[in-house]
Amino acid sequence: MHKISVKINGNAYEEEVESRLLLVHFLRDKVNLKGTHVGCDTGNCGACTVFLNGKPIKSCNMLAVQADGAELTTIEGLERDGALHPVQEAFLDKFAIQCGYCTPGMVLSALALLQSNRRPNEEEIREAIEGNICMCTGYQQIVDAVAHAADLMGQSRS
């Protein structure tokens, strides 16, 4: 067992974890943040995407002990004072959610893009989300949502 300290969505956590525990299972089972989904367990689907020190990572490809001392942001950490983040709003506005399983990872991947590129074109959006798999929407609604989020973020906080 290893003791780790992490900051998740602004809250500090100290937990004893097994050395083989994946970060995604730490988030879901130890910290009870169920928004980070377990999809493929191989890093291919992107359902487990979270921010580690401001960068998107696939939490099924990382051990919890490797996150010791890090700052994490999950989908739950995006809302502020009960208000959805503009990227979350855009996904709702553009019907980019069907079953919702891929949505947390898609939203975080989209946010990572928009933090580095305020006005991405369609090709840049598609490239940014290519590490996330959606089985329901056909992607056009997701691309439209990311473009809409760029517009919303121009008028709102980022």
How far apart CA 97 and CA 123 sit, in angstroms, is: 21
How far apart CA 108 and CA 118 sit, in angstroms, is: 15
pTM of the model: 0.93
pLDDT on residue 154: 86
How far apart CA 148 and CA 150 sit, in angstroms, is: 5
Torsion, Cα of 31, 47, 148, 150 (10° steps): 70
Q: What is the mean pLDDT of residues 56-66?
A: 97
State both tokens at 21: 């525990």
Question: What band does 155 get if pLDDT is binned at 50, 70 and 90?
Answer: low
Phi-psi region of 53 (alpha: psi -120 to 50; beta: other; left: phi over 0): left
93-125: pLDDT as tens digits: 999 998 999 999 999 999 999 999 999 999 999
State both tokens at 102: 């891929």
How far apart CA 2 and CA 156 sit, in angstroms, is: 41
Domains (range + CATH), the chain? 2-77 (3.10.20.30), 86-155 (1.10.150.120)
C-beta separation of 108 from 50 below 8 A = yes
Q: What is the mean pLDDT of residues 137-142?
A: 88
Q: What is the mean pLDDT of residues 14-30?
A: 97
pLDDT on residue 58: 97
Residue 155: how many other CB atoms lie within 10 Å: 7
Question: What band does 41 get if pLDDT is binned at 50, 70 and 90?
Answer: confident
